[in-house]
Amino acid sequence: MRKILHTCKTVILSTVLIATSVGIYAPMTHAATEKESLKLSARASYYGQVENGKPNGTGTIRWGDSKSYAGQWVDGIRQGTGKYVNQYTVKGRTFVVTYKGEWSKDQRNGLGEVRQTIKNKAGKIEANLIQQGQFENDVFKKGYTVTQALADPAFSFNYKDSDLWLQIYGDNQNISQYWATGKFTQIQYRKGKIDKEYSIFPEEDAAKQLANQANLKYFKKIQPQVSTYLKTFQTLSIKVPVTSS
């Protein structure tokens, strides 16, 4: 089966720290109410609530001009809710990565949302990503990832959890209708022992083409089971605009 290439740059979650609204959480109770400034290292400075010489409560840390975290702290580590921002440039392209959500033990743990934009030298957005769901020890474990890029196909839609993995490439004009009519460029679906894939491109081998059509028939049959995922893809897709050339 012909593979689909999506040219959006990958978000490197593990190194740059980078999906649903985060709930409201009570502030930490052991912090001083007055704000102070701390110099934590040659590049890191902090302004916020302090106790015993460490960030405690709410405050903002900045690592130079490119990285920051604003949110809740306990004994000098990120704990509670907060927003992390990292901006950097690679070969003339500007990457802006944000994570907003829950933190525990200085890592992303709980519900959160990742956003990433990639701009070219002219300042136009080449790729835009949103990721919403559950994080565990800085690893995205469950939820939605939607990307739009100046690529063909333009959109990548993904949902994953411990039981299901759903990947779609195509357009976002009418996702439910595209699923029902087989207009997506590619669909990949894994759930338990079920592993199926469909491509809009015809297969050269007759047997593979029959299998491809059988998989499309199966996908049409299970549309009620995936309708929630498709609706969420539709909603998230409007949040990742790119700049037309």
pTM of the model as a whole:
0.86
Closest to 154 measured CA to CA, from 180, 122, 190, 178? 178
The secondary element (H helix, E strand) that includes residue 132 is strand 125-136
Query: Structural domain boundaries of the chain?
Result: 13-25+86-237
What letters, b where the CB count within 10 A reaches 16 and e where it falls short, cover 198-216?
bbbeeeeeeeeeebbeebb
CB-neighbour burial class of residue 37 (10 A; exposed 0-12, middle 13-18, buried 19+) = exposed
pLDDT tier, 244 (very low <50, low <70, confident <90, very high otherwise): confident
Does the structure show a pLDDT above 70 at 146?
yes
The whole-angstrom separation of Cα 149 and Cα 160 is: 21
| Reported confidence tier of residue 170, pLDDT bands at 50, 70, 90 | very high
- Residue 36 is predicted with a pLDDT of 95
130 has pLDDT over 80: yes
Per-residue pLDDT at 33: 72
> Over the stretch 2-28, which tens digit does the pLDDT of each residue have?
444 454 444 433 334 443 333 333 344
What is the tens place of the pLDDT at every residue in 43-76? 999 999 999 999 999 999 999 999 999 999 999 9
DSSP state letters, 133-189: EEEETTEEEEEEEEEEESSSS-EEEEEE-SSEEEEEEE--S-HHHHHHHT-SSEEEE
The 10s digit of each residue's pLDDT in 61-70 is 999 999 999 9
Biggest alpha carbon–alpha carbon distance for the chain = 73
